[in-house]
Amino acid sequence: MPENIIQTEFSAEMQQSFINYSMSVITSRAVPDVRDGLKPVQRRVLYAMNELGLNADKPHRKSARIVGDTMGKYHPHGDSSIYETLVVLSQDFKKGMALVDGHGNFGSIEGDGAAAMRYTEARLKRFTQEVYLADLDKNVVDFVPNFDETEKEPSVLPVRIPNVLVNGSEGIAVGMTTSIPPHNLSEVVDGMKYLMDYPDASCAELMQFIKGPDFPTGGIVTNKDELLAIYETGRGKIKLRGKAEIIQGKKRGEKDCIVITEIPYTMIGANIGKFLNDVMELAETRKLPDITDISNQSKEEIRIVIELKKGADAEKILQGLYKKTKLEDSFGVNMLVIDDGKPKVLGLREILERNIAFQMEINTRKYTTLLQKDRERLEIQEGLMAAVDIIDLIIEIIRGSKDLKMARGCLTEGKTEGVNFKTKTSERQARKLSFTEAQATAILELRLSKLIGLEILQLRKEHQETAARIREYERLLGDEKAMMGAIKKDLDRIKKNYGVPRRTAIENQAAAVFEEAPAEAAPVVFAMNRFGYGKAMDPAVFAKNQEAVLSDNRVVFTCMSDARVGLFTREGALHQVKMKDLPLCKPRDKGVPLDNISNYDSTKETIIAVLPMETLESQTLIFLTEQGLGKRVSGTELISSKKTIAACKLGAEDGLAAVLPQTKAHVALLTDTGTGLRYPVEELPLQKKTALGVKAAKLSSGQHIKAAYVLDPKEELTAVLEDRPVRISALKCRKREAKTEKLTFE
């Protein structure tokens, strides 16, 4: 076979391929169809359960069986995504109306995962059977081949309600997302009926019935006045609050507390645990110091209790929780759906219009199918009734015929050739017969028991009922208003049987106002380990664990909680860190990387000294570089509100070796070759920070200053150089430009 090579521009091919992939993800995975409000995987799971016969009155079946059937017949993707869909369809805290009746561990509102699918069982809810899957046998929707063309599946389910509103939807596609909140079933039904009566109704009129979203977790929508714009455009932000009540301690010694009974929809799952941790952190960092304890006492219903100090301002604390935690959150609305095979953002009115049109379509197809079947039934009933009246002739024809074909020909066309009649009269009567093929088949299959008098009366009664149904179907199909009436009657039945009271309150509430009281400055201990992690500690805790803290950390000193800490780097920069940005830790806690809370970059810089900034104003600092230059600088030159400043001017390929407060009379320099020099501090001149400095020691070629210390004339001082203890105090006091001498290692 000859090769067929197609030459094409690579960029054009990539562009078209990516567009095809994107549209496949958008239309076949992530975005719901506006008609049934379901994504393909949800539709396939429900249809597979229906095909398995997992009705509400039948026993539950293993979830693994449902997932296997769905994957093998309709959805050739990972079993985990199919099972996750099944789980979500059963969770009444995520869906406005749960569609699956789960048996076993199907997860919890607090984010606990479902058990493995081999352990759990499921079946359809009665609501799903009657509202989502009814009449599939009546040609109400198109069926299309599955992925390997061995099965047929519905292109859309004949859902009787605007499910895209009732259950909402969330999904991330390629370049677009959908986020539709759930709504109250009864309100959506009322709004849909009103639009059927008044097709020109505005969105504002519809919102007299559909007040706004109705989340299964309850809570409060606080921006009622903004909802109209959201529902007109299909985009916006809904502001949510949890519902909390303040309970005053009635008995002596009993504390006041805030009890949260409903949470924002966005808090379900792991965010409940995050909320608890956030409240604890606010209490520990003294941003809400009047909180003494928080406990999650939720069982079937949400109950989170926050205990307060005696005399605390509970309302102020509640406002603080709204401001600083997920107890107040926003739900981003983007009502993106698949409409006529294309992704579109629709408003409330457009979604209801599409659903009304869909209901008209499926009901028209339903009653057309029923009309056809009842017409066929009426034809057979009329034939049987006519046959009963001449049953003796029918029996004579059947007995006188040589085969079934001869009997059928006589009944349908009056052919008497070959038929053995008892009398000429019977033959003349037989020639007049003209039953249809369907009637003839029914007559030939007629059982003798049907000739009993009561059976004949029943046949005539069924004929009357069939004729009445046909007249009703013809009336519905011929009158749009009559069809609308039938749809509204069906909607009223659904509302009566399955409607639930509204759970989410719709209000206008002012934004939370919380002025954080400035924390009182208190002494804290700063500690930094050799990996550049910093933390703050309570002085009392440090005192109890002093030895362990000093051994584990490179720098430890006490400062005030509102102070700043200066990080001097080898590259000559000074970075400032606010103590309030450091977590209050226990001795064994790691803390946070100083990179995260300052401009310091550990990949490009090396910290050579850490000093409290509050002491610099009254101090003089000693700067020594690796290439042997030194100077003294007034600390006031380094006081700045900027997070980073240049602390010292450096020569080419030079770096800072040490920065020391001038707290003692002598300075001692140590080199990387094991030599040192000691002399009075005053021999280093007082210069500006922009000066390069003077020669601090006479270094041999290749020598560099490694470290420096300050000490008093008669002070005994031992330091560690390259893991070896060295006696600094053994160095003789000499001149600044003297040559370094050999160190005494112990």
- The CATH fold of domain 357-498: Topoisomerase; domain 3 (1.10.268)
Question: What is the rounded CA–CA span in Å between residue 631 and residue 3?
Answer: 81
SS (H, E, C) 381-447: HHHHHHHHHCHHHHHHHHHHCCCHHHHHHHHHHCCCCCCCCCCHHHHHHHHCCCCCHHHHHHHHCCC
Contact call for residues 623 and 630 (beta carbons, < 8 A): yes
Question: What is the rounded CA–CA span in Å between residue 194 and residue 213?
Answer: 18
Q: What is the pLDDT of residue 389?
A: 86
DSSP codes joined into one string, 654-694:
--EEEEEE--SSEEEEEETTSEEEEEEGGGS-B--TTS--E
Question: What is the rounded CA–CA span in Å between residue 41 and residue 71?
Answer: 9
Contact call for residues 427 and 421 (beta carbons, < 8 A): yes
Question: What is the rounded CA–CA span in Å between residue 127 and residue 166?
Answer: 13
Q: How do strand 100-103 and strand 121-124 relate by DSSP bridges? A: antiparallel
Q: What is the pLDDT of residue 518?
A: 61
DSSP codes joined into one string, 313-375:
-HHHHHHHHHHHSTTEEEEEEE-EEEETTEEEE--HHHHHHHHHHHHHHHHHHHHHHHHHHHH
132 is catalytic: no
Contact call for residues 197 and 206 (beta carbons, < 8 A): no
- Which of 93, 89, 86 has the alpha carbon at shortest distance from 116? 86
- Which of 581, 536, 583 has the alpha carbon at shortest distance from 555? 536
Contact call for residues 536 and 574 (beta carbons, < 8 A): no
Question: What is the rounded CA–CA span in Å between residue 393 and residue 655?
Answer: 122
CA dihedral (218, 219, 223, 225) in degrees, to 10, reads: 40
243-326: CATH, from 3.30.310.10, 3.20.20.210, 3.30.1360.40, 1.10.760.10: 3.30.1360.40
b/e burial code for range 402-433 (CB count within 10 A of at least 16 → b): eeeebbbbbbbebbbeebebeeeebbebbeeb
619-746: CATH, from 2.120.10.90, 2.40.170.20, 3.40.50.800, 2.40.40.20: 2.120.10.90
Question: What is the rounded CA–CA span in Å between residue 679 and residue 495?
Answer: 94
DSSP codes joined into one string, 220-251:
EE-BGGGHHHHHHHSEEEEEEE-EEEEE---S
- Which of 180, 169, 177, 170 has the alpha carbon at shortest distance from 210? 180
Neighbours of 301 (CB within 10 A): 10
The C-alpha R_g of the chain, in whole angstroms, comes to: 43
The domain over range 31-159 is classified in CATH as 3.90.199.10: yes
Question: What is the rounded CA–CA span in Å between residue 583 and residue 292?
Answer: 19
Q: What is the pLDDT of residue 3?
A: 76
Contact call for residues 73 and 151 (beta carbons, < 8 A): yes
- Which of 21, 39, 19, 42 has the alpha carbon at shortest distance from 30? 39
Contact call for residues 117 and 100 (beta carbons, < 8 A): no
b/e burial code for range 20-37 (CB count within 10 A of at least 16 → b): eeeeebbbebbbbbbbbb
Beta strand ranges found along 579-662 (DSSP E):
592-593, 607-612, 620-625, 629-634, 644-646, 656-661
- Specify the pTM: 0.73
SS (H, E, C) 136-193: HHHCCCCEEECCCCCCEEECCCCCCCCHHHHCCEEEECCCCEEEECCCCHHHHHHHHH
Phi-psi region of 606 (alpha: psi -120 to 50; beta: other; left: phi over 0): beta
The one catalytic residue among 83, 119, 198, 231: 119
Mean pLDDT by 10 residues, the chain (746 residues): 74 74 67 93 96 95 96 92 95 93 93 93 96 94 93 95 95 84 96 95 96 95 95 95 86 77 92 90 82 88 90 88 92 94 93 96 96 94 88 88 90 88 87 91 83 78 93 94 95 96 91 65 90 91 91 91 92 93 87 92 92 90 94 93 92 92 93 91 93 91 91 88 84 89 82
Where in the chain are the domains? 31-159, 243-326, 357-498, 518-609, 619-746
Question: 3-class DSSP state for residue 57?
Answer: coil
Give the DSSP letter of residue 613: G
Q: Which tokens belong to 559?
A: 């400062």
- Fold match flag (357-498 vs 619-746): no
Q: How do strand 505-506 and strand 220-221 relate by DSSP bridges? A: parallel
Diameter over CA atoms, the chain: 154
Question: What is the rounded CA–CA span in Å between residue 186 and residue 193?
Answer: 11
Q: Which tokens belong to 352?
A: 């209801």
Question: What is the rounded CA–CA span in Å between residue 262 and residue 248?
Answer: 19
- Which of 286, 246, 318 has the alpha carbon at shortest distance from 520? 286
- Which of 418, 412, 446, 417 has the alpha carbon at shortest distance from 432? 412
Q: 């639930």: which residue's tokens?
A: 500
Question: What is the rounded CA–CA span in Å between residue 626 and residue 73?
Answer: 74
Burial of 611 (0-12, 13-18, 19+ CB in 10 A): buried
Q: Which tokens belong to 184?
A: 């109250």
Angle of helix 453-478 relative to helix 480-498, nearest 10 degrees, comes to: 110
Q: What is the pLDDT of residue 255?
A: 76
Size of the chain in residues: 746
Residues 6+ away with beta carbon under 8 Å from 2? none
Contact call for residues 423 and 401 (beta carbons, < 8 A): no
Question: What is the rounded CA–CA span in Å between residue 347 and residue 234?
Answer: 4
Backbone angles phi, psi at 223, to 5 degrees: -120, 60
Question: What is the rounded CA–CA span in Å between residue 329 and residue 263?
Answer: 10
Question: What is the rounded CA–CA span in Å between residue 187 and residue 493?
Answer: 14
Give the DSSP letter of residue 528: E
Give the DSSP letter of residue 28: I
Backbone angles phi, psi at 310, to 5 degrees: -65, 130
